């Protein structure tokens, strides 16, 4: 059944379930990144030099990224074996509990070295949950969506990622403003983490209402299904895994430089942290709703041109971004973040769900999408803030960080050059892309 606009009810329900669930799950995950930049360095690593303490705090943040491929393998396995819907409920629950426990974790002053040890352990649990979340959140929409609008609908799952960041940063700013710096460090930050359990309950109620995807339901009988999807992915889709990995390097690495490390850089150059955080929130808010626009554009002109345009824009913006920060002009700081988020990052992440979905067949799609995606998260997202901070400590300037961004952009362009154009490909009952680009273009014209 469709609504008055001709949109099938189950597609709308899948979009809402993915959007809300992703928002809440990534609220939990991003909350940690902000705290690592501004709180954990003093509460859990107080014996270090401030910049070294920040690197150590980002190191615990990286632990979550190191765990994400494991989450992609484990939950991808069950997502391909028992279905997307059940796995998404489990990953959201795990994330909520881990986030709550971080909120009640004693600091270094109370339990000494056990504080950072337990912090790392809980971050690893968060990483495992996040590793299983993204692939399922994307597939629950992309496998419901009509072929010729898959880019538009599946991009809404990424809007949840963006809104999760906005929600976490906004909540951080609100509680900090109400409590003040001293009280925020003492107890205010804990409220943000403990509230995650309530948000998780809301997300679970919404996600449990969505139906399993048609691509999963229409697959071959159980005896013929692969017993180890991840091994099947490596054997039958090695190129697709490498393309997914390489395409994600610029998108994931850049966003943690543009939106997380920039807080550290602002502190280093004496720029008001509240101003930068406001710029980040505004940039991500606009980007969140630009993602479906980029996805819709990829339905019209193709996945590769839109994605590659974002990577090229990131390379071009690598130097101006820091130059605008160095100006200390509030307007230029907002422009720097806005372009980085809405144009550079938005074009890549908005196109990503449809492109990655269309690279794998349904027997192993959850495993393939999650593994390639999270492998890049581990390499790029986990270490880019650490590398950027280390480069800043070494050079005392931003130019090597700009070169680092350019290098990641080049890797992504190479990966996209090797990728097929998958726009509007039909997924048959086995979930395998069957149509040629010409046939797809003719069908959607």
Q: Choose the most confident range, by mean pLDDT, from 113-117, 185-189, 271-275, 312-316.
A: 312-316
The mean pLDDT of the chain is: 82
Class of domain 13-211+237-444: mainly alpha
Q: How far apart, in whole angstroms, are the C-alpha atoms of residue 48 and residue 65?
A: 23
Of residues 209 and 283, the one with the higher pLDDT is 283
Q: How confident is the model at residue 406 (pLDDT cuts 50, 70, 90)?
A: very high
296 contacts: CB under 8 Å, gap ≥ 6: 149, 151, 152, 155
Work out the burial of residue 171: count CB atoms within 10 Å of its CB; fewer than 13 is exposed, 13-18 middle, 19 or more buried: middle
Residue 48: predicted pLDDT:
56
Give the residue from 348, 385, 352 showing the smallest Cα distance to 259.
385
Of residues 223 and 253, the one with the higher pLDDT is 253
Q: Please state which of the ranges 83-92, 96-105, 149-158, 331-340 shows the lowest mean pLDDT.
A: 83-92
Q: C-alpha dihedral over 359, 362, 363, 369, to 10 degrees?
A: 50
* Main-chain phi, psi angles of 25, to 5 degrees: -65, -40
Would you list the domain boundaries of the chain? 13-211+237-444
Q: How far apart, in whole angstroms, are the C-alpha atoms of residue 370 and residue 393?
A: 34
Contact 50, 25 (CB under 8 A): no
Q: How far apart, in whole angstroms, are the C-alpha atoms of residue 57 and residue 53?
A: 6
Cα–Cα distances in angstroms (integers) from residue 160 to residues 124, 285, 349, in the given order:
22, 11, 12
């Amino acid at each position: 059944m469709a609504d008055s606009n001709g949109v099938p009810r189950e597609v709308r329900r899948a979009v809402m379930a993915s959007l809300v669930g992703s928002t809440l799950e990534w609220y939990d995950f991003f909350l940690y990144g902000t705290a690592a930049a501004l709180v954990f360095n003093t509460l859990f690593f107080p014996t270090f030099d401030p910049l070294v303490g920040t690197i150590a705090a980002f190191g615990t943040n990286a632990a979550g990224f190191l765990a994400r491929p494991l989450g992609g393998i484990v939950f991808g396995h069950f997502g391909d074996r028992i279905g997307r819907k059940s796995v998404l409920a489990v990953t959201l629950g795990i994330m909520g509990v881990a986030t709550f426990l971080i909120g009640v974790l004693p600091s270094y002053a109370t339990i000494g070295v056990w504080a950072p040890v337990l912090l790392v352990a809980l971050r690893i649990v968060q990483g495992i949950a996040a590793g299983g979340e993204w692939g399922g959140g994307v597939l629950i929409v992309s496998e419901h969506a009509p072929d010729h609008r898959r880019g538009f609908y599946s991009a809404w799952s990424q809007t949840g990622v963006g809104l999760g960041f906005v929600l976490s940063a906004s909540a951080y700013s609100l509680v900090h403003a109400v409590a003040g710096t001293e009280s925020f460090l003492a107890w205010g930050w804990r409220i943000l983490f403990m509230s995650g359990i309530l948000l998780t309950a809301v997300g679970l109620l919404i996600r449990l209402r969505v139906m399993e995807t048609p691509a999963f339901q229409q697959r071959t009988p159980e005896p013929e299904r692969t017993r180890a999807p991840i091994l099947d992915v490596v054997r039958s889709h090695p190129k697709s895994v490498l393309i997914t990995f390489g395409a994600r390097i610029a998108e994931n690495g850049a966003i943690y430089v543009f939106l997380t490390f920039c807080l550290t850089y602002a502190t280093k150059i004496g720029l008001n942290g509240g101003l930068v955080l406001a710029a980040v929130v505004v940039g991500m808010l606009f980007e969140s709703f630009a993602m479906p626009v980029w996805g819709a554009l990829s339905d019209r002109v193709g996945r590769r041109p839109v994605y590659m345009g974002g990577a090229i824009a990131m390379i071009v913006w690598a130097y101006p971004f820091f130059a605008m920060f160095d100006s200390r002009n509030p307007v230029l700081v907002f422009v720097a973040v806005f372009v980085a988020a809405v144009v550079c990052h938005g074009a890549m992440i908005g196109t990503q769900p449809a492109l990655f979905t269309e690279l794998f067949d349904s027997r192993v799609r959850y495993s393939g999408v999650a593994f390639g995606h999270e492998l890049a998260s581990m390499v790029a997202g986990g270490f880019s803030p650490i590398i950027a901070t280390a480069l800043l400590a070494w050079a005392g300037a931003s130019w090597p960080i700009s070169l680092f961004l350019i290098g990641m952009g080049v890797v992504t362009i190479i990966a996209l050059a090797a990728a097929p154009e998958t726009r509007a490909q039909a997924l048959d009952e086995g979930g395998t892309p069957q149509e040629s680009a010409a046939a797809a273009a003719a069908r959607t014209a």
